Amino acid sequence: MKKGCYFTTPIYYVNDVPHIGHAYATVVADVFARYHRLAGDEVFFLTGTDEHGQKVAKAAEDRGLEPQEHVDKMVGPFQDLWSLYSVSNDYFIRTTEERHQQVVQEIFSRLYEQGDIYKGTYEGWYCIHEENYWAEGQLVDMNCPDCGRPVKRVTEDSYFLKTSGYQDRLLEYIEAHPDFIRPVVRRNEVVSFLESGVQDVAVSRTAFSWGVPVPFDSEHVVYVWFDALINYLTGVGYTTDDEHFAAFWPPVHLIGKDILKFHAVIWPTMLMALGLDLPKAIIATGFWTLGDQKISKSRGKVIDPIELADELGVDAVRYFLLREMPLGHDGEFTHDGLVRRINDDLANDFGNLIHRTLPMVKKYRDGVVPKRPATAGRTAALAETAAGIIDEYNKNMRAENAREALIAVWRLLAAANKFIDSSQPWNLSKDGDDQGLDEVLWGLIETIRLAVLMTYPIMPATGEAAFEQLGFDESPGDKLFSDELVWGRLAGGGQTRPGSPLFPRIELEPKE
């Protein structure tokens, strides 16, 4: 049986207003899910929301709502955003759903019975904002080192997960699997954290009740992080759909670097205790920092992905997110930078190729794409370039390097733009070289077809529109890459349907 590919995003904290960071991790995961579907793999792609915890209960109380009513209202903006951003998740998990709560309870009981969870007492400095305990040495002027808010001295009965018992095994695993935690800088962070010694972590709370109850101790609810991590198991069918679970486990996790420890230390501990395979990869994405004031104007310090999509188009923003910075690094988000990418890469390189080629097909061939030529002399070099770039693209996409894959595609676009200049279709027409002209025009449309296919996981709506203009009856997603992403598959004979620019130029507003 073919082994499936399982991609996850973090489940987002339901109290948050969705911002560009949420959109980033989700779009990245979506691009890989889309790629693997086209590559013929079975894919399961999961995203969702994290809906328990003290802060959620507090926010509900402030609004005069029951916690469940509150989260039911808060989940909508996330679901709407993913639909706006063409996110193709197979399931949207909410940690308040019944099935999930049962899985959490089952896991909690099992780990308790086998001695990986035990009862103890916790004493420490607690920040209600992060729902996090801090050691006294970590505090800044006795305030939370993360948010600066005052912390409270708290003592409570708590259940603990024996993280300490697994640290050597986990270190060995990380050593033996260099791609397990990416990028390397994050891997090193986790290794030195593990080497410095890991303490058992609290996995239950008694101070509030908005959470999954510990099944054998009604005073306690399961700690929100423990509950949230288990979404990756629930979502794919752990204990509820064994066949589905077996087909897709283990996952590739896309996370933000701020939740690295939970995913790369606590989560593998839980999985080892459950006797499950560890994730194929934990990929920590970097942060976008605001590089200029323009984007932040309307919404304080948050980059609003809806506003961006309205102004620039969803596909252009998706392209920017994937192309601008290497996965795992931080990037600067500037409005000018975004517009420059759209104008240079999309409007100039890609758009011009299409909007130079289609008018020539119209002018010289009444808009009909020439049939696949019998000779290949004029397109031989372009064909060779394309074949090499397709290999490079596939290799990079399989290694979750979408940026490198896109850079390769843009080399193909550059080669095709040069090919127009060097083959001079207007002179072939003037000289009456019909065979040569057919071959050149066919080669250009073929190159555009391949570039559209390769960028389709990143810009799905644009890909559909491009195929429409090229006169193809199918969508780029109708067939597998093994059949379509090969030089020479274009039969020709179709009637092109030129339309409005696929990548409109954005006019930069003058500096204020």
Nearer to Zn ion, 145 or 291 (CB): 145
The minimum distance between CB 11 and Zn ion, in angstroms, equals 21
- Taking phi first (over 0 means left), then psi (-120 to 50 degrees means alpha), and beta for anything else, what does residue 349 get? alpha
| Residue 140 contacts Zn ion per CB under 5 A | no
- Specify the 3-state DSSP secondary structure of 130: coil
Q: Is residue 132 within a helix (H) or strand (E), and if so which, with residue range?
A: strand 132-134
The minimum distance between CB 134 and Zn ion, in angstroms, equals 8
Measured at CB, which residue is nearest to Zn ion? Answer: 144
Buried b (16+ CB within 10 A) or exposed e, 101-112: bebbbbbbeebb
- Rule CB under 5 A: choose which of 135, 142, 147, 380 binds Zn ion: 147
Compute the distance between CA of residue 111 and CA of residue 439 in angstroms, rounded to an integer: 67
Site residues for Zn ion, 349-408, by CB under 5 A, read none
The minimum distance between CB 133 and Zn ion, in angstroms, equals 11
Site residues for Zn ion, 148-177, by CB under 5 A, read 149
| Residue 127 contacts Zn ion per CB under 5 A | yes
Compute the distance between CA of residue 425 and CA of residue 434 in angstroms, rounded to an integer: 10
Buried b (16+ CB within 10 A) or exposed e, 46-83: bbbbbbbbbbbbbbbeeeeeebeebbeebbebbbebbe
- Rule CB under 5 A: choose which of 19, 110, 129, 244 binds Zn ion: 129
| Residue 130 contacts Zn ion per CB under 5 A | yes
The minimum distance between CB 261 and Zn ion, in angstroms, equals 16
Nearer to Zn ion, 140 or 380 (CB): 140
Compute the distance between CA of residue 272 and CA of residue 249 in angstroms, rounded to an integer: 14
Stretch of residues binding Zn ion (CB under 5 A), selected from 21-29, 108-116, 124-132, 338-346: 124-132
Sequence-distant (6+) residues with CB within 8 A of 129 are 55, 144, 146, 147, 149
Nearer to Zn ion, 129 or 356 (CB): 129
Q: Which residue, among 194, 224, 196, has the nearest Cα to 209 in the 3D structure? A: 224
Compute the distance between CA of residue 359 and CA of residue 165 in angstroms, rounded to an integer: 68
Q: How many residues bind Zn ion (CB under 5 A)?
A: 7
- Rule CB under 5 A: choose which of 5, 23, 25, 144 binds Zn ion: 144
Q: Is residue 341 within a helix (H) or strand (E), and if so which, with residue range?
A: helix 335-341
Stretch of residues binding Zn ion (CB under 5 A), selected from 147-155, 222-230, 236-244, 245-253: 147-155
Stretch of residues binding Zn ion (CB under 5 A), selected from 37-45, 125-133, 234-242, 411-419: 125-133
- Give the residues lining the site for Zn ion (CB under 5 A): 127, 129-130, 144, 146-147, 149
